[in-house]
Amino acid sequence: MIHPLKITSTLSDETRYQIYEYMLQQKKSFTVQAIAEQFSIHPNVARLHLTKLSEIDLISAHFVKSGKGGRPGREYKAAEQGIELSFPKKEDSRLINWSVKLIEQIGPQALEAAKKISYDDGYSQMKLMIQKRKGIANIDFEEKLKLLTTAASLIGYIPQVIESDADKKIIFTVYNCPFKNQLSTNNEIICTLHESYLKGQIDVLFAQNELVQVESMIHECENCKYEIEITNSNY
């Protein structure tokens, strides 16, 4: 198992993290030259970043024949399975499984209680982030989006904004679900709680909003995707 400190130190470099995030979104293979051009860096620097990401198994390297003879070229692709940070005496995955099985056995009443807990957690986390700034009344739309982006990236989803004359729409795409290991058996419960957490965060920032899931991994989609409609009064 890769030591957690090696993982965190590798991803602490901003450019390296951006490269990994980009590759994760694109879901295709890249050469060193392609990454160098995308991020306007020297190929040797791009190769170093890709090597570091390969060492912690966030991306994989493979050789591809060019069809022109000569040596095969190396290409890199983000791993489908996200890496887990495991610290001594912590069994988060097992605790999640226990909690989900308990919800299943008790039934709808337990699920509604769990949804409220996850919603309240998302709500309180965002409230705390705002308090560390200057209060919700003094935060404009761009600052709200920045807060949401920071909070969202910690649990695997990335927001994009689509604007129109009437309103704004935020598209959330989950490229690396933190609960992916649990989706094979308890997917509906896991996704419901994940969505409640997200809804709690959004409600703090935008009083009037509508959250709709348009794609889901558990329904054989490539990613999970949410759309949030926000009215002009929230700007």
**Percent of residues, the chain, with pLDDT higher than 70:** 67
Please write the tens of the pLDDT for every residue from 155-204.
566 666 776 666 677 776 766 566 666 556 666 787 788 788 888 888 88
The pLDDT confidence band at residue 145, using thresholds 50, 70 and 90, is confident
**SS3 breakdown of the chain: % helix, strand, coil, rounded to 5?**
55, 20, 25
β 224-231/167-174 pair status: antiparallel
Give residue 157's pLDDT. Answer: 63
Give residue 44's pLDDT. Answer: 92
For every residue of 22-41, DSSP letters joined together read: HHHHH-S-B-HHHHHHHTT-
Which residue's entry shows tokens 């209680």?
Answer: 113
Residue type for position 103: I
Phi, psi at 157, each rounded to 5°: -120, 155
Look at residue 84 and tell me whether its pLDDT is greater than 60: no
In order of 4, 95, 108, 112, the CA distances from 105 in angstroms are 35, 15, 9, 13
* Rounded CA separation 53/2 (Å): 12
The pLDDT confidence band at residue 90, using thresholds 50, 70 and 90, is very low
Please write the tens of the pLDDT for every residue from 39-70.
999 999 999 999 999 988 889 888 887 666 66
Give residue 51's pLDDT. Answer: 92
Look at residue 205 and tell me whether its pLDDT is greater than 90: no
β 167-174/59-64 pair status: unpaired
CATH number belonging to the domain at 4-78, selected among 1.10.3720.10, 3.40.50.720, 1.10.10.10, 2.30.30.790: 1.10.10.10
What does DSSP assign to residue 212? Answer: E
The residue extents of the domains of the chain are 4-78, 92-234
On whether the CB atoms of residues 192 and 213 are closer than 8 A, the answer is no
* Rounded CA separation 68/57 (Å): 30
Look at residue 128 and tell me whether its pLDDT is greater than 50: yes
CATH superfamily of 92-234: Trafficking protein particle complex subunit 3 (3.30.1380.20)
* Rounded CA separation 56/60 (Å): 10
